[in-house]
Amino acid sequence: MQLIETPGTGERREYEMLIGGAWTGARSGKTFESVNPYTGREWARVPEADEEDVDRAVRAAREAFDEGPWGKMTGTERARLMRRLAELVAENAESLAVIESTDNGKLLREMSGQLGALPEWYYYFAGAADKIQGDTIPSHNPDFFVYTRREPVGVVGAIVPWNSPLLLLTWKPAPALAAGCTFVAKTAEQTPASTLEFARLFEEAEFPPGVFNVVTGYGVPTGSALVRHPGVDKVAFTGSTETGRLVMKDAADHIAKVSLELGGKSPNILFDDADVEAAANGVVSGIFAATGQTCMAGSRLLVQEGLHDELVETLAGKAGSIKLGNPLETETEMGPIAFREQLEKVRHYVDAGREQGAEVVHGGKARRIPRCRTVSLSSRPSSPTWTIR
């Protein structure tokens, strides 16, 4: 068994936000906690930004775009910085993965896989940075010379979810930095730490101040203030469909461009001629992976009647064999639900299914996970938390 020391064991980490190249707290002085979902303990504390802090970050991004060296850089120069960033991500991938797993409870091997692949996004789009070009267009008037020129959108406000923060963040700045945009990233309140650690790499890569800014806080007021800010030219949001509707409405008030990556209900469809064992393995990996906390989860299962009983029996057996525990342990197969509100949501759906006549064939209750000790100078046993089994 391999154990990796959990960040914050014995000592709480204190973080600040990155605004305009400076590390800073919220103007109000307010902070909030990040809780390790496996131990149930606070392990980090971050600033609670409000509208004033968001305004500072957007103004810093605007200044970097309009007046700073970033706006004057060629694509070749931007590409050089992006390749350096990719190198630093690769060098720090394992420590970033441990922080993400500590923050959201997902398996370290999943987070390690994501972080290990992350540099490729920056390498790829660095290769595109000096190849952004327009067209010359024939004109009916011989005295006219007509051409198009591609220009960056401007300041991008990125709102990131809690389940895979750095992967889902990277899909936003990697192409936008190549184009010459600047960024204000708002973390999920449940998982702020990895994005703040990631922001340090922008400093080390020597990006100009204000190109990449991070604010931490809640959806209201922090996220809503970012979406509504007139200095934001585009909003890139990943999260729930309900919140996505609000983002689109608020961004429309100042005609900001919007891209939305929202939730869904992905179906598995099985017919009587399916290989039951292979199908069951696919179903289990689709919904139990990441404790079901992924936008690609196979959250619906539609089965032809003749296969139903055998498949349910097979699935129940596989569910019972899943090893629950510390997500930092290599042999753990499923970690905890990421935060209490999410646990209550899962409980609600289990209860709703029962009320509508569904039969629970395995589990259905929150289970106390037996604790094992982490490697640390003070190897105290962790306090109990809960996950759905």
Active site residues: 261, 295
> Which ranges constitute the DSSP H helices of the chain?
51-66, 75-91, 93-104, 108-129, 165-170, 173-179, 193-204, 224-228, 241-252, 276-287, 308-320, 340-355
Alpha carbons 279 and 258: distance in angstroms, whole number = 38
Alpha carbons 76 and 87: distance in angstroms, whole number = 17
Buried b (16+ CB within 10 A) or exposed e, 260-271: beebeeeeeebe
Alpha carbons 238 and 256: distance in angstroms, whole number = 16
Q: Which residue has the tokens 């006219």?
A: 144
Q: Is the peptide bond before 221 cis (omega within 30 degrees of 0)?
A: yes
Beta-bridge partner residues of 215: 186
Alpha carbons 294 and 263: distance in angstroms, whole number = 9
Beta-bridge partner residues of 159: 186, 237
Sheet holding 234-239, edge to edge: 22-24, 17-19, 212-215, 182-186, 155-159, 234-239, 257-262
Q: Are 61 and 126 in contact (CB under 8 A)?
A: no
Q: Which residue has the tokens 């997902």?
A: 106
Rg of the Cα atoms in the chain: 23
DSSP secondary structure letter of residue 261: E
- Which of these, 159, 370, 385, lies nearest to 251 by C-alpha position? 159
